[in-house]
Structure formats: C-alpha cells, structure tokens
Amino acid sequence: MPSRAGGPSGLIVIATLLVAACSDSSTAPSPAPTPTPTPTPSPTVASVALTSAQMNATTYQVNATARLSDGSARDVTAVAQWSSSDRAVAEVSSTGVVTARDSGTVEIRAVYESVTGTTNLTVAVPLLSLRGTILEAPPSSRVLEGVRVNVTSGVNTGEFTYSDDRGQFTLNGLRPGALALAIAHAGHQPWTQTLTLDENITNLTVVLYPVAAPSVR
C-alpha cells in the first residue's frame, strides 16, 4: 500500500534536501581580498648641475639644479652645501655667491643629498690705482715733496710710495677692498685715513698740519 506524503518516506526526502542545502551553503567561496597598492618610491637625486653668472668684476652667482630620477628638476641653490677648492683664490657663500680674492681658476662644489656638482671658474681681481696730492695746511698751502704714504691695513698692507715735486703720489696695482693710509712726516702731525677701494681714485687730497712750535718762556 503506497505511503502518504506525510509518512516516513516524505520525512526522509525533506531531511535529505535540508542536508544538501546546508552542504551547499558551507562551501560557498569567500570574496577575493583587496590587493594592497604598492607605494610609489620617492624620486632620488641623479645629478647636480651648476651654472654661473658674473655679477660684477669680482663676484659671481653660481646656481645648483638637482636632476631627479623621475625626470624632474629642482633648484637647490639655497639648500646645497657649498665649498671652494682654493679659498685664497675665491670664496663661496651658503647661497652660491663666489667672491674672487685673487686671479686664477678655482673649482666650486655643491653637495645636495650626497650628490656633488662641480664647475670651474676662472676669476680675475682688477688692479686699481690711487692718486692724490699732499699739501701743507693754510696759510701755507704749499705742496709737500718726498712725503712717504703707507698702506697699513687691508689686502694691500705694506705698499708705499712718495710724493713728487708737485706733491703728487700714485699707488698702482692695488687690489679692491678696504685699506688705511698713514703718513708720518717730519715737522707735521700724523695723518691717517681709511677708505674702500672699488674703483680708481684720482683726486685724494691730503692736508698735513705743522707741529706747533713750543712756546718760549
């Protein structure tokens, strides 16, 4: 005699379906994990290039440009470490300003992030002249011959000359910069003057005052 749908056979079929459904649910695939993006490496310094421009007779501006590994460029003049191969010829500041101290060729270096850039500069210090006239103070106002004029400070220390029969003197071959002139001439009060020589001076007037005669009692 056939069994009813609600009999034992029906229960077995329902149980089998439930087991299959649970089995299918437990084996469902998990979603794929999201990949972690690879960080882009920071560009590194490939090279440092230096360029120079003359500002005046004794000063140059050197600029440093860093070439990066990504093809870009960066001005690093203000942050590079600067140095000169010979400071007696030329000095360089922390911003790449080169000042000539003597005539010659010097290598200027800039280091940025351990990469060095170099350039050679040939610099020249122009030699200047100083001319003047030595007079005695009024009422005489006469020119004074044979007065020795000495340079007593600055890069030209030790230079000297004498006034001629017209009271005129000339110091040639002087380097630019500050200097002090001094005169100690017999019968006259000592004279000194400090000046800055950045161009030829042709009209310096020196007035010497006689030493006052001692009073007679």
The CATH number of whichever domain residue 200 belongs to comes to 2.60.40.10
Q: What's the pTM? A: 0.57
Residue 15 in any domain: the answer is: no
Mean pLDDT of 97-106: 93
Q: Is residue 64 part of a domain?
A: yes
Q: Are residues 79 and 150 in the same domain?
A: no
pLDDT higher at 12 or 205: 205
Rounded-to-10 torsion of CA 203, 129, 140, 207: 90
Residue at a domain's end among 104, 123, 142? 123
pLDDT-derived band of residue 93, with 50, 70 and 90 as boundaries? very high
Phi-psi region at 112: left, alpha or beta (left = phi > 0; alpha = psi -120 to 50): beta
CATH number at residue 51: 2.60.40.1080
Q: Which of 107, 123, 139 is the last residue of a domain?
A: 123
141 and 202 in one domain? yes
The pLDDT of residue 26? 52
Domain end call among 90, 108, 123: 123
Looking at the fold, whether 137 and 162 belong to one and the same domain comes out as yes
The CA distance from 182 to 158, in Å, is 11
pLDDT value of position 141: 93
Q: How many domains does the chain have?
A: 2
Cα dihedral 22/24/27/32 (nearest 10) = -120
Contact 190, 117 (CB under 8 A): no
Instruction: Please give the residue range of the domain that contains residue 194.
Output: 128-208
Indicate if 151 and 169 belong to the same structural domain.
Answer: yes
Whether cis (ω within 30° of 0) applies to the bond prior to 139 is yes
